[in-house]
Amino acid sequence: MPHNRLPASSRTALPPDSSPSGQRRSNIFRSVARYWPNVRNAVTTRILAIADEVDEALYGDKLDRLDPHIVLSCGDLPFDYLEHIVSRLNVPLLYVPGNHDPDLSLGDSTWSPLSAEPPRRGPEGCINVDGRVVEAAGLRVAGLGGSMRYKPGPNQYSESQMRWRALRVEMVARLTRGRGRSLAIDVLLTHAPAEGFGGREEDVAHRGFAVFNRLIKNLRPRLQVYGHVHPYGVAQPTVRLGATMIVNAVPHRLIEI
């Protein structure tokens, strides 16, 4: 089973649009998907956000007590850790790759017989939302993985490269918002922070992306959650940019929105 797909019986298809404009949009914006139709009537959604550091407590009873509706991983976590969490909780787990994760960009592509090896797969039962907009547990989540480029390797980008990736996500979010929705997205899930919010701007490897600030201001998500910047046991305050709550998820945070 591909890492970002559930069996057909477990996911809800987007309604077809047979008009010419609808066909064009379908061809262009294949990054939008909907999983786990929102059957809850909860006033708030409990989000378990995780990133970068394995928390041994989540192998025990604490995971069940947290009782989240959805799990968001900001990257740089072992795949078996994510598989453990999603299998224990049986709720959607959405993730973006970090700069220490393998390149998963071919995970949804048809494997070419000329290739020596098949594309790498992500964690089973989890959904890769990098560069996509996904609906799960009643939330629209946009994802942008990776960090500022500081050495050769996958999932690293210059500010200019991330600007183009963010522009595409913004277009997808706006054009697929749907009637009756006041917000294009509810959550912006990233590995790196927005510029000025990670507290490590002097360190190129941990510097945030300026374009994330623009994306937050333009799309006004209720939550932006990131990892990458290790707090080393120091409690990280929740901050805001306009109406958006910004949270460092390392190693885990339970958030209600």
Total tally of structural domains belonging to the chain: 1
Closest CA to 88 of 125, 52, 54: 125
Instruction: Determine, yes or no, domain membership for 210.
Output: yes
Instruction: Determine, yes or no, domain membership for 24.
Output: no
Instruction: Determine, yes or no, domain membership for 23.
Output: no
Extract the tokens encoding 20. Answer: 């010419």
Q: Which residue has the higher pLDDT, 193 or 235?
A: 193
pLDDT digits (tens, 9 = 90+) for 75-89: 999 999 999 999 999
Instruction: Determine, yes or no, domain membership for 8.
Output: no
pLDDT digits (tens, 9 = 90+) for 100-157: 999 987 544 444 444 455 556 899 999 999 999 999 999 999 999 999 999 999 999 9
3-state DSSP of 94-149: EECCCCCCCCCCCCCCCCCCCCCCCCCCCCCCCEECECCEEEECCEEEEEECCEEC
Instruction: Determine, yes or no, domain membership for 1.
Output: no
pLDDT digits (tens, 9 = 90+) for 7-33: 333 433 334 444 444 544 444 444 555
pLDDT digits (tens, 9 = 90+) for 29-56: 445 556 555 544 557 999 999 999 999 9
CATH assignment at residue 93: 3.60.21.10
pLDDT at 162 over 90: yes
Instruction: Determine, yes or no, domain membership for 235.
Output: yes
With contact defined as beta carbons under 8 Å apart, do 108 and 129 qualify?
A: no
Domain interval for residue 53: 32-109+116-256
Instruction: Determine, yes or no, domain membership for 17.
Output: no
Instruction: Determine, yes or no, domain membership for 63.
Output: yes
